Each structure stands twice: as C-alpha cells, then as structure tokens.
Structure 1
Amino acid sequence: MRIQKKSALIAAPLIVIAGLGLWYATRPATAKLAAPTAIPVRVVAVTEKDVPRYVTGIGSVLSLHSVVVRSQIDGVLTKLLVKEGQLVKTGDLLATIDDRSIRASLDQARAQLGESQAQLQVALVNLQRYKLLSVDDGVSKQTYDQQQALVNQLKATAQGNQASIDAAQVQLSYTQIRSPVTGRVGIRTVDEGNFLRMADAQGLFTVTQIDPIAVEFSLPQQMLPTLQGLIADPKNAQVKAYIGADTDGETGNLLGEGHLTLIDNQINANTGTIRAKAEFNNAGQKLWPGLLVTVQIQTALDKDALVVPPTVVQRGLDQHFVYRIKGDKVETVPVQMVYQGSGQDTITGVNAGDVLVSDGQSRLKPGSTVQVLTDPPQVVQSGAAQ
C-alpha cells in the first residue's frame, strides 16, 4: 500500500512535466515584431521671396475740418437752403436771416454820408475863397483858420459815416450764412422761423469735410525712429485702413490707402505711446468721422527672405526649430524667427527648397519614419443621418 502511494507521488509530477512539454511542442510559433509604422505628415517647401514688414494699430477717423454753423447776429431764421446730409462747397448759401432792420440802418448811414459830403463840399469852396482873400487881407487870419477847422471836422464826420456804412454791410453779410468748408451737412437743430441768437452754442448744424479725411492712431514709443524715417520719405510712408481687421490686417475690408502726415510733438508718458496722423483720399466715403479702424503701415521690405507657414515652426525649451524631411525620416533643425505676420513666418537656419513638416509634428521625434500625405485632409461630418 505504501509502495503504491509512493509511486503515485512520483508519477504525478512526471505527468505535469509531460503535459507542459506537449503544449510547448504543439503551441503556434510566436509572430515576429512588426516594423515601426510610418507617421503620416504633410509638408511644404521653403520659399524665397520679398516680404514686407508691417506695424499695426487702432485708429480713429477724424475730419480735417468740422465746423458748427452758428448765427453771428440776432434775428429770425427765414430760409434753410440745404438738407440734412447734403454735400456743399465752400461759399454755398446755407441759410438766410431777416435783414430788414440792418438794411434800414445801412440806408440811414448812406444818407448821413451824403449829407456830410455835401457840407464838406461847401466848406471846401469857402476855404478856397478865404485863402484867396487872405492874400489881400480881405478876411482875417482867424476866419481862414476857422474855415480850415470846419473842413477837417466835416472830413472826419464823412469818414465816420463811411465806417457806419461798412459796419452795416458787415452785419448785412451775416444775414446770409455760407458754408466755410466743403463737406456734408449734419443733422439740423433749428427750423425756419426760429429766433437765432449769437450766444446759442448749439448752432444750426455742422458741416464736416469728408474728402480728404484723416486717421489718428497711436503706436508704441519704440516706433518713433521708424515713423520719423517714413515721414522723411513720403513715397514710402503708405498707410492702409481696415475695418473688422485683426492686428495683422489679414481680415476685414480695406477702406482706403493714405500716407503718413504728422507725428505728435510729444510721447504720452502714461501709456508709452506716440500719436500719429495719416491723410486719406476718400472719394468713395468709406472712411467716416468717428469710425474705429485698424491701421497698417509698411515699415520695411526684406529682400529674398525665407518664408514658411506659421504651422511649420515649433517652439522648443530655449529656441525655435523645424522638422526637415531627409529621405523617409525627419531631423530637427534649429531656426531663428525673423518676422511674423500676414499668415507667414520669415526664418533663418534653413535653405530655400528644403521640405519641412507642416502638420503632424506632435508624434515626431528626430529620426522618426514618416509618410508624406499628398491628399487634402478629409472633413469628418458629425451627426450624419443613420
């Protein structure tokens, strides 16, 4: 009995070992490790071209001349000869004021001048007669001197009458209100029949010049030398105005192209900015006083610059770099960022024609195997009908 138990104890491990050997002998062969999968990427070639540099800022459109039309005399507004929004030229008649009392004063001054001139004429004749008589002592020296004084008095009176006429004519001219500038009439504040006073601060309406027009903007104080160089060379001081544009001027509508005309005489110490002004021809009236616009100024032109899309350049811990295609692998190349703007980056450190990775960098490392995709990326539509 003991011998059977002992034999069983010895046989059990042998059976297990035999089973393991049979399984190992009959198990399928292990598949070899697959080769590394190529990483799909998209690429672009480095191009060489002239790249303009720009500086941008936010500006406000200003009229070169905006005048509040006011009455220079007290009187009743008899006629308004223009409509709101109408374009007028310098000297155009805008409105008239009741002039009857001023015309009466003018007629009175003219009558007084005629009377004084008649009296002066008689006095001059008598003076000439007394002068001849005084030679033979026909009249006394005192009489002659008195007549000379009367002539001088009448001359002064005539001059005073003429001054009254001139003053009345000036007052009469104020009854016709004419446009001081060429521009557009604004919203009126009075109607015909209202009594106008010189002290009225509100005025009748405004006349605002629209063409040409100006844009005032502010730039960092570091731009002062650049602005000074531009204003010294007017042909290069070109300024563009956009509405709805971002800081690169890449989007939005171009409203006009003008030129830099003025740099303010001091820098704002609180903001560290300097104000400048540009003038625009505005025949299409796209620029409107008070409108906020994005101003773009070309400050330089980089000749034969190396240009790539913004997605190519990657940011490292201490420098920028790009992935360059070398055969079916990639290598990292450190680059220097020269200029960013207008949807393209100017860099150095690569050569024109180099093929760089523009999409798919997140999975790359130096030496990675890549597969260059040529088809455009597919657009995945969500919420498709079942």
Structure 2
Amino acid sequence: MRPALALSLLLAAGVSLTACSGDKAESKQSQQQRRPPVPVTVASVERKTVPLEVRAIGTVEAYSVVSVRAQVGGELLKIHINEGQDVHKGDLLFTIDPRQLEAALAQSQATMAKDQVQVQQARAVLERDRSRVSQTQAALARDQAQAKNAMVAERRYADLLKRELIAQEQYDQFRTNAESLTATVRADEADVKSAQDTVVADEAAVKSAEELVRADQAGVDNARVQLSYATIRSPIDGRTGSLLLHEGNVVRANDSTLLTINQVQPTYVSFTVPQQQLASIKRYMAGGRLEAEALGTGDERPVRGVVTFIDNAVDTTTGTIRLKATFANEERRLWPGQFVNVVLTLATEANALVVPSQAVQVGQQNISYVFVVKPDATVENRRITVARTQGNDTVVASGLQPGEKVVTDGQARLVPGAKVEIRGAGGNGERPGGGGERPGGGGERPPRGERSP
C-alpha cells in the first residue's frame, strides 16, 4: 500500500514540474513577442573587387635638396631672387663683389702673356741655332770633299816622288795641304757637334717655356673659375627657402649657407611597413610596378605614385623596413616635411565577399559573428570567419551568402530571435517581413543574460 502511494506522489510531482517548465518557456516566448521591434540599420552582403592594401604614415621628402654656399669670399652685392620663389636650373641667385677676382684674372693673363713672349724668343733662338747646324754641316761636307781630293793628290805625288819625276818640295806642298784639310774636317765635325748640342739645349729651353705658359694658362683658367663663382646660379629646378644672409654681408668661401633649394617635382614619400610584409612587397614588385597613394590632411583626393626604393636593412629597433615612393606631384599637393597617409596597393582580389566592418562583432574567445536579418524580421546570430579587414570593409571567408542582410547599427539591443525594424536613410522604419506597427517607446534593453556571445 505504501509503495503505491509513493509512486503516485512521484508521478504527480513530475507532472507539476513539466507543467511549470512549459509555462516558463511559453512565458519567455510570449515576452519576446510582446517586446517592440529593435530599430537597426542594415547592409547587404556583397561580392566585389577588394584591393590588397598596406597602410602606413609617411613623410614627404624633397626629391633633391641643395644647400647653396659661396665658393669664394667677398661682399654679397646683389640678391636676384625672393624667398619662396620657384627657380630653374641656371637662374642667377646671388652676386658677390668680383673686383678682387677680376684683378687676379688680369694678373694671371699678364703673366701668361710675358711667358708667351719668352716662348717666342726661345723658338727664335732655336731656329737660329738649327740654321747654324746646317751651315756647319755644309762646311763639313765641303771640307771633307777637299780633304779627300788632297789625299788622292798626295798619294799620286808620292808615287811620282818615288820615281823621281818631281821635286821633294812639290810633294811636300801637296802633303801639307792634305794634312791641313784633314785638320779642318776635324774642326768642322767639332763645330757640328757643338751646334747640335746647342740646338738640344734650345729645344729644352723652348719646352720649359711652353710648360711655363701651360702653367700660366692653368692659372688663368683657375682665375676665371674663381671669378665665375662670384655669380651663384641655381643647380636644380626647385623652390627657394628662407634667405640666411642679405645684401651687404661678407661671406666666406665654403662657410656660409645662403639658401636652401628643395626640388618638389617630382618628390618622395618615405614610410615604413612591418618586416612581416617585406616578402609580399618584394614578390609583387618583382611582378611589376607597385603603386602607392598619398593623402595629406585636408586633401580630398590622393596623389598617385610608384614605389621606387626598399631599404637594404630592417630597423632592428622597430622591426620595420623603410620604403620610398616617387610622385610626379604635378599639382604640388605634397610638400617636404608633410605627414601623409600612404596606401600601398599590392594586388586586387576579385569576387570577395564583403560586409561593412561595423557589422562584425567579436564575442568570447575572440569569435567573430554578425546579426543576420531573416525574412520574418527576426535576427540570427551567425558565426563568421574573417579573412581580413580593408578600410571600412571586412572580407568574409565563410559564414555568409551574397544578398543577405546584416545589422550594422543597433547590435547592443539584439538577441537571437529578436524582432527588428530597419531604419532607412530618412529615419522611417520598416519591417523586412511585411507591415506592422511602429514601436511607440522603442522597446527595452534585453537582460544581460540574453545577450549574444
């Protein structure tokens, strides 16, 4: 009897508990249905071409920077440009007092003229001595011929003397004549050698005088160069900065900087990227030109350029690598020293699944999810896999389909299954599943225990 009574009591208790839990579920569902729709904004899941970009902060650098200095000393007589003026290569910038330099040039020219006269004199002496050599050689040839004839006559008369056909006195006369002519030939040979030695000395003197004139010419050329430094011209096309010295100041050679000129067309933008992206950047650069965009503060349109430089070492302190992009800067919207936002476009990904970045929520354990609006005007909490974020867009690898609606604003008041009202651009609400009354009080915030992960 008692066991049967206990079993009956247990069955009654189970039925009571089941009824209570069912009532609670029905109460919770009806409570959600009674809540007014939550106003939200939505966006469609789209497929579009998304660029693969690297973003950085860069600094504009002049393509070329020239510090203009005086190469000669003197008083600064005239400034031919204004501060902040555009100049072209060869434009006159400054004039330094040239009088001392002009005097030095005149002195060098006079010294050279004097030495040129000495060269002419040395050449005249050389020609005279060469003529003397010719004369002595002619006399030598004449005396050699006479000596040869005298020797022949002496041998002939010696034979006649042996046969006693002529007197001794007559033979002695021919012998003396032959010996005299032989001595004359030896004297002529000495004269020729002496004249030739004199010509060699004259040639050395001429060469020395000509070397002296060449040295004088170098001095004249140097004086002309020094004089040309008195007029300072622009070495590049660019824009002038502030004047550091003014008319009347005395400048010293290679000491005083007068002006700085920056070449701003074209120009560089220098920026750094994490070293982890170096391999990708080098790979894409090997395949072609790598384009970059620079946008300054307050500028509406970016300036386009090309990456032209990758540094040869990674900065071990920051773990970044420095790059430079070259921009034509035709409109001069980039200025040296300016900070700009740089966008480096590595490639483009076609047919990427994209949602606005504000639609993506991050829950516990760093799980990404979005609220998807279903046709019945309720929302579904759906986990997604994020490939990457590019600006205001998030590329989704999986979890969504093109054309689905995701909530971009109002997620804080949503729970799975909650009714929503889509707010249009003008603020009027509508329910995606059809008509329905607009909420009067905007609904209440769901309990914290019902929030999504």
TM more than 0.5: yes
Specify the alignment match of 1:213 in structure 2.
267
1:1-386 alignment runs, 5 A limit: 35-37=33-35, 39-40=37-38, 41-135=40-134, 136=137, 137=191, 140-201=195-256, 203-235=257-289, 237-244=290-297, 253-254=300-301, 256-318=303-365, 319-328=367-376, 329-347=378-396, 348-374=398-424, 376-377=426-427
Distance 1:254 1:227 in 2: 24
Q: Is the 8 A contact 1:234 1:259 kept in 2?
A: no
Q: Is the 8 A contact 2:55 2:344 kept in 1?
A: yes
Local SS of the residue matching 1:211: strand
Local SS of the residue matching 1:67: strand
Distance 2:104 2:424 in 1: 92
Local SS of the residue matching 1:311: helix
Query: Whose helix proportion is higher, 1 or 2?
Result: 2
Q: Structure 1 unaligned runs (5+)?
A: 1-32, 246-251, 379-386
Deviations 1:311-333 (A, max 9, x none): 32222223212222333233332
Considering only CA atoms, is the larger Rg found in Structure 1 or Structure 2? Answer: 2
In the TM superposition, residue 87 of structure 1 has moved relative to its aligned partner by 0.7
Q: Structure 2 unaligned runs (5+)?
A: 1-29, 138-190, 429-453
> Aligned in 2, Cα 1:242/1:112: closer, same or farther, shift over 3 Å?
same
- Compute the RMSD of aligned alpha carbons: 2.3
- Partner amino acid for 1:349? G
Specify the alignment match of 1:23 in structure 2.
none
- Partner amino acid for 1:105? A
> Aligned in 2, Cα 1:95/1:377: closer, same or farther, shift over 3 Å?
same
In the TM superposition, residue 257 of structure 1 has moved relative to its aligned partner by 1.7
Q: Is the 8 A contact 1:309 1:343 kept in 2?
A: yes
Deviations 1:253-295 (A, max 9, x none): 4452211110110001011011111111222222111111111
TM-score (normalizing by structure 2): 0.70
Q: Is the 8 A contact 1:231 1:262 kept in 2?
A: no
Q: Is the 8 A contact 2:291 2:304 kept in 1?
A: yes
Distance 1:155 1:254 in 2: 68
- Partner amino acid for 1:90? K
> Aligned in 2, Cα 1:371/1:149: closer, same or farther, shift over 3 Å?
closer
TM-score (normalizing by structure 1): 0.81
Q: Identity of paired residues, percent?
A: 36
In the TM superposition, residue 144 of structure 1 has moved relative to its aligned partner by 2.3
Distance 2:34 2:261 in 1: 76
- Partner amino acid for 2:42? V
In the TM superposition, residue 371 of structure 1 has moved relative to its aligned partner by 4.5
Query: Whose strand proportion is higher, 1 or 2?
Result: 1
